[in-house]
Amino acid sequence: MYRSRDQKQKISTNGKCQHIKSEKPGNWLSRSPQAKPKHLSFSSFPLCPLSLRGSKHIIMLQLAILRNQTAYVKERLAIKNFKELDLVDEIIRLDDERKKLVFTYDETKSKINAASKEIGMLMSKGQQDAAAERKKEVEGLKSSLAPIEKELDAAEKHLNELLVRLPNLPSEKVPAGKSAEDNAIVRSGGSKPELPKNALPHWDLAKKYDLIDFELGNKITGSGFPVYKGKGARLQRALIQFFLDYNTKAGYLEYQPPLMVNEASAHGTGQLPDKEGQMYHVTEDKFYLIPTAEVPVTNIYRDVILKESDLPVKMTAYTPCFRREAGSYGKDVRGLNRLHQFDKVEIVQLVHPEKSYEVLEEMVEHVEKLVQLLGLPYRILKLCGGDMSFASALTYDFEVYSAAQDRWLEVSSVSNFETFQTNRMKARFKDGSGKTQFVHSLNGSSLALPRILACLLENNQTDNGILLPVALHSYFGSEMI
């Protein structure tokens, strides 16, 4: 996943799970508040669908976690720089009120059922007057159910509105920190190039070699929609094909998904409701232009139950991506630095929960080798809690060095979401014992093209042209631009 600047500190939660029983021996939920599990996130214990009194309104809850490990939950939320810690207490308080309403509703239903049986007995004995009297009482009880149910609907709705504001809890591996400056550099590679004194930034190189026309894109659509042409268009195509071939050789199955998704798909991967303002919306049809291939590709397995032998599921796709990027300005948006439409190749995996962190490291190594083949200086960052996306349990960012701009540019985020997405999508598998579990989902950019292209142009410029990395020669059809 290639992160937008505004994809942080918002959350929507939804999904399905089995109810957690705190009384189970050995279950961490039965321990004292000070007893912390080795690792816990809301995605470790999927949200539980609770259908109250048979209502069509189903609320997805993490209340077992909130109630039994309140202090720990607040501690982890603080790692993500979440400010509304009192929201946890408010949710618990509101749920107490909901439980009282449920009790009243169930008690009233019980009285109605008991009275109905009594009416039948009275009728069988010929006691018509007594039966008629009891019928009046039942009618009164039934009429009292409607306002109780209305209160319950309102309580459920309010409770869900509060729950969707809680971020997924970060993994214990996530370092503390408030912003990007606190991210931990895991490792780096490559060497920064020494450019000639007359070196140009990529937007000037694009004009010099007639590769990209930013002004034409602005005329046709608006800023952030560049037009690639000639060798610029060919280089885009070469990069896309190279990335896809690299991924498929590693066992990823290629897909060509739709570029628009419905609300259910956008909700499944967490884009709705929190990123609604960042997505382009086809209002009449209620479709959304995808911000990343992650959305349609991961949703391929929405409402699917896999066999354990089917895991891991490895998928890759190239798509254009569309993001409004509201609030971006200045040097951050110059040239290819930030666009509203850009090309990206994505990798997605659905894996056994016990293997997801091992797979995360494998995916990081996969992307790292790809960047190495491009010959670009890079560094890998482990994101701190304050810089993480709302849904991720652990994220690694890749940055490549832009020599002409003298700055590091993010080109990929590789994340483990545990069951956050699969919970919402009901993407599950049956293990060897026949038990149904949620798979863990992971994704990453392999790679996003704009900043890769910018760095290839800048870092490889010579007096005679732009020398391309060896890996691209056969795809581009030439060594030099």
The H-assigned helical ranges of 302-419 are 356-373
Phi and psi angles of residue 221, each rounded to the nearest 5 degrees, phi first: -130, -60
Mean pLDDT of 1-13: 41
Task: Answer whether residue 10 shows pLDDT above 50.
Answer: no
Mean pLDDT of 132-137: 86
The pair of three-digit structure tokens given for residue 304, joined into one six-digit string: 């699917």
- Quick check: 244 and 306 in contact, CB under 8 A? no
Phi and psi angles of residue 380, each rounded to the nearest 5 degrees, phi first: -115, 130
Question: Which region among 48-57, 144-153, 311-320 has the lowest average model confidence (pLDDT)?
Answer: 48-57
Q: What is the pLDDT of residues 82-115, one digit of tens each?
A: 999 999 999 999 999 999 999 999 999 989 888 8
Containing 184, the helix (H) or strand (E) segment is strand 184-189
pLDDT on residue 14: 34
Q: How far apart are CA 366 and CA 316, in angstroms?
A: 13
Question: Which is higher by pLDDT, 187 or 167?
Answer: 187
pLDDT on residue 160: 80
Q: How far apart are CA 465 and CA 331, in angstroms?
A: 25
Is residue 252 very low, low, confident or very high in pLDDT (cuts 50, 70, 90)?
A: very high
pLDDT on residue 296: 98
The b-or-e profile of 456-476 (16+ CB within 10 A means b, else e) is: bbbbbbeeeebebbebbeebb
User: Where exactly does CATH 3.30.930.10 map onto the chain?
Assistant: 180-476
DSSP string across 62-89? -HHHHHHTHHHHHHHHHHTT---THHHH
Q: How far apart are CA 364 and CA 422, in angstroms?
A: 21
Percent of the chain whose predicted confidence (pLDDT) is above 90: 68
The H-assigned helical ranges of 125-188 are 128-163
pLDDT on residue 277: 81
Task: Answer whether residue 34 shows pLDDT above 50.
Answer: no
Percent of the chain whose predicted confidence (pLDDT) is above 70: 86
Assign a CATH topology to domain 180-476. Answer: BirA Bifunctional Protein; domain 2 (3.30.930)
pLDDT on residue 40: 54
Whether omega before 273 lies within 30 degrees of 0, making that bond cis, reads: yes
Q: Quick one: CA dihedral 376, 379, 380, 386, positive or negative?
A: negative
- Quick check: 366 and 250 in contact, CB under 8 A? yes
Containing 218, the helix (H) or strand (E) segment is helix 214-220
Q: What is the pLDDT of residues 419-457, one digit of tens each?
A: 888 988 999 999 999 999 999 999 999 999 999 999 999
Mean pLDDT of 229-237: 98
Is residue 276 very low, low, confident or very high in pLDDT (cuts 50, 70, 90)?
A: confident
Average pLDDT over the chain reads 86
Task: Answer whether residue 393 shows pLDDT above 60.
Answer: yes
Task: Answer whether residue 136 shows pLDDT above 50.
Answer: yes
User: Where exactly does CATH 1.10.287.40 map onto the chain?
Assistant: 28-163
Task: Answer whether residue 286 shows pLDDT above 60.
Answer: yes
Architecture of domain 28-163: Orthogonal Bundle (1.10)
**Strand ranges in 403-439 using DSSP code E only, listed in sequence order:** 407-416, 428-430, 436-438
pLDDT on residue 13: 33
Q: What is the pLDDT of residues 354-372, one digit of tens each?
A: 999 999 999 999 999 999 9
Mean pLDDT of 376-392: 94
The H-assigned helical ranges of 224-355 are 231-249, 263-268, 294-298
